[in-house]
Amino acid sequence: MRTDSSPGTLPAREHLPATDAGRPVLDVVIPVYNEEKDLQPCVRRLHAHLTRTFPYSFRITVADNASTDATPLVAARLAAEIPGVRTVRLEQKGRGRALRTVWSASDAPVLAYMDVDLSTDLNALLPLVAPLISGHSDLAIGSRLARASRVVRGPKREFVSRAYNLILRGSLQARFSDAQCGFKAIRRDVAQALLPLVEDTGWFFDTELLVLAERAGLRIHEVPVDWVDDPDSTVHIVRTATDDLKGVWRIGKALAAGSLPLDRLARPFGDDPRDRELTDVPHGLARQLVGFCVVGGLSTLFYLLLYSAFRQAVGPQTANALALLVSAVANTAANRRLTFGVRGRGGAVRHQAQGLVVFGIGLALTSGSLIALNAAGDSPAHSTELAVLIAANLAATVLRFLLFRAWVFPDRAETGPLAVIAASPYDRPCRPTAHLSADEAADAVPRPRPVRPHDTDPGDAR
């Protein structure tokens, strides 16, 4: 695989070579804890399937999570008897810990894992890893919730699974359909950059991995699977669900605060067709317009609710000013994060101050409309006041967007992927450095800036 890349980015995806002597192309990890009964039939069945159907070299790694039964002996015996099978012993429990340990040390360019019960039909394994081998995708997951999937399981597990994925969609805006299916794969270069950001060592490991990958704009491929529930599963549903909800809260706070360095996961320009420049359309304008309209619609509803509440106690001008001030602060914060993709707290105070200037323009427009309404007739109806205010806010929306884009948040257009390529240091004139000191000469040489994660649309990553 190609390893050259700009600072802070992953290399471009490429098709893996057809032959790569000395190492397997695929490393399938089976994390186990006290699975002395199921381990041997699982490994033998998986090895036979891969030998018969998989066109590349492979390895099967049994990751023993501090088992206290005969699992380590069974794993060692399998590793001694079957070529391409090895075992790794961990002295601490945790599926996430096992996957992190094995994946971090593996030399295979494609890494996968599956549950020891083999609930997922193995015919989905080649479709799972094929997009990673071809260079099409970064991660791949089996989905039990896809239309083409065929699933046999009890109503309790069905309800828990669907409810959990609905929580992910509602709270973290996840767009992948099934976070919990124990059937996933990832490219090694992606794992090397992504694993250091994943904190969980248990069952939430999968979800955290996928959420961070999706937010960074990586492509996630989904494969419909045939899946049969294992009635002897030792997973504690209530405890696992509780830990998962704690993980969702932790990740949500980190994403809201912009504390995760997702820029290290960005792909270089041109790797994704969405990065290509559109004729006569500024880069990111369409997505910004959609985000601005959504935030604006919600802000308008918030403003009207506040105005109606304040109007019960004060006059229309005071109620309008208070409602517009509160909603303006919320609107600036929402547009800063969601529309223009600015993460972290840097510049937040300045952005809010500039947003208040924009608020002043809106206040002038809405206050002027109320003055004109009151001058036209005595004691206008409350519904008429609301209608006039809606019209005034719509009139100010276009100007607000232009000011946000050109004045409050102008840095995005200057540092996006297109600007990085267009403003290559080799294309820009340099200051003469013969008469400068060493430090001044170093500062005079332009340096390329890395692509920031908010310069792409991670919500559309598939």
DSSP string over 241-290: HHHHHHHHHHHHHHHHHT-S-GGGGBPPTTSSGGGSPPTTS-TTHHHHHH
What crossing angle do the helices spanning 205-215 and 237-257 adopt, rounded to 10°?
30
Give the residue with greater pLDDT, 455 vs 259. 259
Report the distance separating Cα 178 and Cα 367, nearest Å. 50
For the cut 60, the answer to whether the pLDDT of residue 355 exceeds it is yes
Give the count of beta carbons closer than 10 Å to the beta carbon of residue 224: 19
Report the distance separating Cα 444 and Cα 198, nearest Å. 38
pLDDT at position 84, please? 94
For 74-111, what is each residue's pLDDT tens digit? 999 999 999 999 999 999 999 999 999 999 999 999 99
Confidence of residue 20 (pLDDT cuts 50, 70, 90): low
Average of per-residue pLDDT across 167-186 = 86
Mean pLDDT of the chain: 78
CB 260, CB 197: distance < 8 Å: yes
Average of per-residue pLDDT across 348-358 = 85
Report the distance separating Cα 324 and Cα 452, nearest Å. 32
Confidence of residue 429 (pLDDT cuts 50, 70, 90): very low
pLDDT at position 285, please? 67
> Which residues are CB-contacts of 97 (< 8 A; sequence separation ≥ 6)?
65, 90, 201, 202
Give the count of beta carbons closer than 10 Å to the beta carbon of residue 258: 18
> Which residues are CB-contacts of 313 (< 8 A; sequence separation ≥ 6)?
319
Give the residue with greater pLDDT, 271 vs 414. 271
Confidence of residue 269 (pLDDT cuts 50, 70, 90): very low
For the cut 90, the answer to whether the pLDDT of residue 68 exceeds it is yes
pLDDT at position 328, please? 84
- Give the dihedral sign, CA 344/207/291/285: positive
- pTM reported for the whole predicted model: 0.58
Give the residue with greater pLDDT, 300 vs 267. 300
CB 219, CB 458: distance < 8 Å: no
Range with the poorest average pLDDT among 45-59, 77-91, 131-145, 357-371: 357-371
